[in-house]
């Protein structure tokens, strides 16, 4: 799969909310999640650990008001995607996300994802 094909598939699956499929089909097993702004999830290695991070976050979410996934921008081995989501938390607060996610790709698999917000 070319990097453009990976980017297009990634956007398609994210827009459908198929996060597990993203990890299962597009990520390398040893992928690296980088989110320096997060106290709990700043540096995570491995798809299993990344899935566990998502599950831990989902425990605090009761609903989603909206999600926007922009088109992939591909430059050599990198894909950048603008991503917005507003979720309702169990504590009654609303959490708006507005971020850019940058993925590093090699041989048709995502090696890392880094979140900027």
CATH number of domain containing 34: 3.10.450.50
Q: Which of 2, 9, 23, 4 is nearest to 112 (CA)?
A: 23
**Three-class SS of residue 65?**
strand
How many structural domains comprise the chain? 1
What is the pTM (predicted TM-score) of this model? 0.91
Q: pLDDT 10s digit of each residue in the chain, 117 long?
A: 999 999 999 999 999 999 999 999 999 999 999 998 888 888 999 999 999 999 998 899 999 999 999 999 999 999 999 999 999 999 999 999 999 999 999 999 999 999 999
Residues paired with residue 32 on neighbouring β-strands, in sequence order: 45, 112
- Domain limits for position 38: 3-116
- Beta strand 78-89 pairing with 94-106: antiparallel
Q: Which helix (H) or strand (E) holds 105?
A: strand 94-106
């Amino acid at each position: 799969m070319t990097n453009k094909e990976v980017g297009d598939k990634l956007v398609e699956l994210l827009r459908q909310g198929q996060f597990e499929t993203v990890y299962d089909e597009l990520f390398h097993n040893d992928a690296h999640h980088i989110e320096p702004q997060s106290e709990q999830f700043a540096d995570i290695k491995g798809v299993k650990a990344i899935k566990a991070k998502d599950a831990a976050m989902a425990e605090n979410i009761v609903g989603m008001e909206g999600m926007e996934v922009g088109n992939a921008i591909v430059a050599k081995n990198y894909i950048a995607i603008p991503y917005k989501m507003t979720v309702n938390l169990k504590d009654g607060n609303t959490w708006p996300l507005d971020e850019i996610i940058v993925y590093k790709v090699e041989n048709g698999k995502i090696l890392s994802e880094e979140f900027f917000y």
